[in-house]
Chain A
Amino acid sequence: MGSNPRTVPAPMIVEDWDQLTFRVNREAYRSAEIFARERGWVWMHTWLYLGHETEIPNPNDFKVRTLGGRPLIFCRDTAGEVHAFLNSCPHRGTVLCRENEGSTRLFQCFYHAWTFRNNGEVAAIPDAGAYESSDEFRASMGLRGVPRLETHEGFVFVSFDPDAPPLLDYLGDAADYMTMIQQQHAGGMTTLPGTQLYSVRGNWKLAVENAMDGYHFAPTHNTFVGYLRESGYAVTDDNQYAYNLGNGHGLLVLTGHGGRISMIWEPRFGEDERVRTEAHRAEMTQRLGEKRAHYVADESHILFVFPNLLLFDIEGLSIRQLEPVAPDQTDVRAWQLVPRDEDPDTRALRMKTVVSFVGPGGLATPDDIEAYEAVQRGIQATAGTAAPELDYSDMSRGMADEAKGVQGRSIDEGAMRGFWRHWIEATGLDDGIEVNGERPASFLAGRDVR
């Protein structure tokens, strides 16, 4: 960036409504320049998912986390307020907190013993008399907080851009799907310890595409689908839809892939769970009304909140956070979000069921990871080719329906197209998209779920 000549090709995306094709230049997954642009534009200016407030339930709790390569302290101060500080001593830059998690009132730098309260104030500077005007100096040396921090339904977001729009404006229609998660149980939801921390050899956008791509489910997860069928559950791709929610956020609505713990019973959950599910379902209808309870309980949702949050509201509920490390490497962190007041047998069933699908040791996620790692290796084949028009990936599926105004299916690629259109804006690649022909009037078919 800066004064260096740009080397990424233009356009990155070719969208053609005459040919009904949508193609993404594979440099998007490979280029160091694109990666630097994403760090500088997307990760520095949009809202980023930091963590869930139930990860630090008590005063003085803290976790460390990295967003956009920046080490952060995610903590609750002694008075109970949630903060995100740069995990770096204001004095000389040392990583201040070198534990992954814990409880403390004070963070002390081991290098020169500068000490800070968990609300960011300086607590002690050894030999402070050596500094002139020490009171002012001291006040200027508090922990550096992130410019913005807002919470929606327990999900804590930060922005490194002080001018970011209010979080709820940014989330738009995605916000209500997060509210639906919170509404699933009267007692609310909480994260559990036991975080799946793993890394993949693939670009972060491949992880987003994979989550928004129902087309891969049957072939990639053939063995898992087989397991579901054998355990007495019909699996289907029919009547499942994909939605663009604006600002790059996407949603898959799934009704045919597995049951939902405490919402939709299936034989592999056992008879006791059937009784508990019926009772919970009745309570939901009472609390939320018939229609809202239907949308909250009877369909699975995979929600993507641009750029780094995926909520898998399927059999159980997994929060997945993406942290790009390099063009071809992504750190993934996944937490289980569960009802705070849950029957122990249901909880055990939930954990077993969720883990059987989701995570790097499950029966399905490893095949997803295999898929996007294989894309990352395979797209080298057309890099720098003499026929640059071959160096594109195709995401046209479902455009014919989209042109006719028919709601896109989960097995189409419409949600991925919505992601890429927003990615062009978010990366500031103004000449990054070439549109041929007439775009349909509306990509945003809202859903009336209230």
Chain B
Amino acid sequence: MTAIVNRGAVRCAGRTVTRQEVEDFLYAEADILDHWDYDGWLALFEPGARYEIPTTDHRPGWSPHETGSFVDDDWDLLNARVKRLKSRKAHAENPHSRTHRLVSNVRLSEGDTEDAFRVAASFVVHRARDGHFDAYVGWYDHLLVPTDDGLRFRLRRSLLCHESLAAGARLSFIL
């Protein structure tokens, strides 16, 4: 990642977006995911948005289009993922994992385009499943778009700090 300037607000699409507004958006998303509301989650994306999780050996600057990844979802795959997770035939998440998310260290910066801005944030996701309790630690590197209906994801990317995925820690849920 390039350096993130720690700002209380950023100008984007002709208006000012505050860190508090972004934090409220990320906290709401965490709540939606922890309550397994996948339609509600998909509604936080603009059409055409992407969802990515690079591998644990990821290095800054690597493109998911030219390297292996854990998740490299375009809009169609993101929709397919949500549809799958809502099915009782998504065996890896049936019964569902229990998750609990903490989001912190939220920082805003300008995006590469006029209509989007970048958000960096730290996450800790705890997940209980099959009698085990796993922790996932990393940071988010998102592109957000202000709309009349609130903020929306253009890119939602989760970068793990782990050296590898521990036993049983497969990413069958949303990280």
Contacts and interface: CB of A to CB of B under 8 A. Distances in A.
A20 interface: no
B54 to A, nearest CB: 7
B53 to A, nearest CB: 5
A72 to B, nearest CB: 17
B138 to A, nearest CB: 13
Interface of B, secondary structure class, is loop
B74 A199 contact: no
A366 B170 contact: yes
Contacts of B80: 227, 230, 356, 363
By CB atoms of chain A within 10 A, which of B76, B92, B93, B165 has the most? B92
A355 B72 CA distance: 7
Contacts of A236: none
Contacts of A359: 68-70
Contacts of B175: 361
Contact of A361 (B53, B59, B74, B83): B53
A52 interface: no
Contacts, number: 143
Contacts of B54: 194
A100 B91 contact: no
Given A223-B89, A223-B90, A367-B90, A352 B57 contact: no
A367 B94 CA distance: 10
B166 to A, nearest CB: 6
Contacts of B55: 194-197
B56 interface: yes
B165 A199 contact: yes
B66 A366 contact: no
Interface residues of A, number: 46
Contact of B70 (A196, A329, A344): A196
Interface in B5-51: none
A209 interface: no
B68 A356 contact: no
Interface in A254-300: 268
B127 to A, nearest CB: 13
A265 to B, nearest CB: 17
A361 B171 contact: yes
B168 interface: yes
B91 A344 contact: no
Which are the 10 A-B pairs with shortest beta-carbon distances? A194-B67, A194-B68, A361-B70, A197-B164, A366-B92, A348-B65, A361-B171, A366-B172, A198-B165, A360-B170
Interface of A: 100, 192-201, 220, 222-224, 226-227, 230-231, 268, 325, 329, 331, 334-336, 344, 347-348, 351-352, 355-356, 359-363, 365-367, 369-371, 373, 377
24 contacts: A100-B57, A193-B68, A194-B54, A194-B69, A198-B164, A198-B170, A199-B168, A200-B170, A201-B132, A201-B168, A224-B84, A226-B87, A230-B80, A334-B68, A348-B65, A356-B72, A360-B70, A360-B172, A361-B53, A361-B170, A363-B80, A363-B84, A367-B172, A369-B92
